[in-house]
Copies of this chain bind each other. A is one copy, B any other.
Amino acid sequence: MRGRSAMRESAGAIQRKANGMTADPETTLRADARRNRDQILAAAKHIFAVSGPEVPMEEIARAAGVGVGTLYRRFPDRDALVRAVAMDNFERVLIDARVIAAEETSSWRALERLLRQSVELQLSVQLAMVSHRALVILKNDPEVRRLRDEILAVLDRFVDGAKAEGKLRDDVGAGDIAILFATLLRQMRAKSPEVAAMAARRCVGIMIDGLSARPGSSLPGRPITSGDLDPDADPDLGSDLGPDLGSD
């Protein structure tokens, strides 16, 4: 049982590596092993997106069409895998964002396009913002963090530009948008996967309409900036679920 569909992967990967950040792990790999590694990454990305970052490793392995041993050989523990997935996702988003920035002259249209595309690569923003566990893991990795910040910077530019164009409502910040979409992109349940997929696209459409500038409506509170997203609290973990229950 080896055949799997993870093929929309191959092209971009090589180029990304050529971009040259961590060349160590892949150059030494045998062709076969390399392919497996990519499949694992693709499967993990998909499964993380659907079920969160704490699914059994064996499930990921199965989805990738490999054994658990292989998975553990490539990624020494779960954290390493989460990190790798996040890096891959962030890189992809960043590349997309830059392409869009280069192609679109209107910031509003750029923003819109970026958001719509994000649905298709159902994705990592949520991994970084919705999952506490993942957040803890990623926060300690400066590389990941740098990528994330770069993406937020691009988003900031789009937001500012779109506001200047009068297309984006003035009372939102990049943080609003990031939260909105991170939340929205979580998997939805419905009668069928088809309905769910359609629902996701429709939700994004509704959101974009809600974001566009229009007189007469206003939001409570103040604009949430990208800075508001940083839980700068403590870098160490310290029990992720337990303590904050008594807050009520």
Contacts and interface: CB of A to CB of B under 8 A. Distances in A.
Contact of A210 (B135, B206, B220): B206
A217 interface: yes
A56 B244 CA distance: 11
A129 interface: yes
A26 interface: no
A243 B62 CA distance: 11
Contact of A203 (B183, B190, B217): B183
Contacts of A175: 190, 199
Contacts of A192: 231
B220 A199 contact: no
A191 B55 contact: no
Given A59-B242, A176-B199, A247 B183 contact: no
Interface of A: 46-47, 50-52, 55-56, 59, 62-63, 129-130, 132, 135, 172, 175-176, 179-180, 182-184, 186-193, 195, 198-199, 201-203, 205-211, 214, 217-222, 224, 227-232, 241-243, 245-248
A224 to B, nearest CB: 6
A184 B185 CA distance: 10
Contacts of A214: 209, 214
Contacts of A172: 202, 206
B184 A199 contact: no
Given A50-B241, A59-B243, A183-B188, 20 more contacts: A50-B245, A55-B245, A56-B243, A63-B248, A172-B202, A179-B188, A183-B203, A187-B247, A191-B228, A191-B229, A191-B230, A192-B231, A195-B224, A198-B220, A198-B224, A199-B224, A201-B220, A206-B211, A209-B214, A209-B217
Number of copies of this chain that the complex holds: 2
Contacts of A193: 247
Contact of A191 (B59, B232, B248): B232
Contacts of A191: 227-232
Contact of A186 (B62, B180, B186): B186
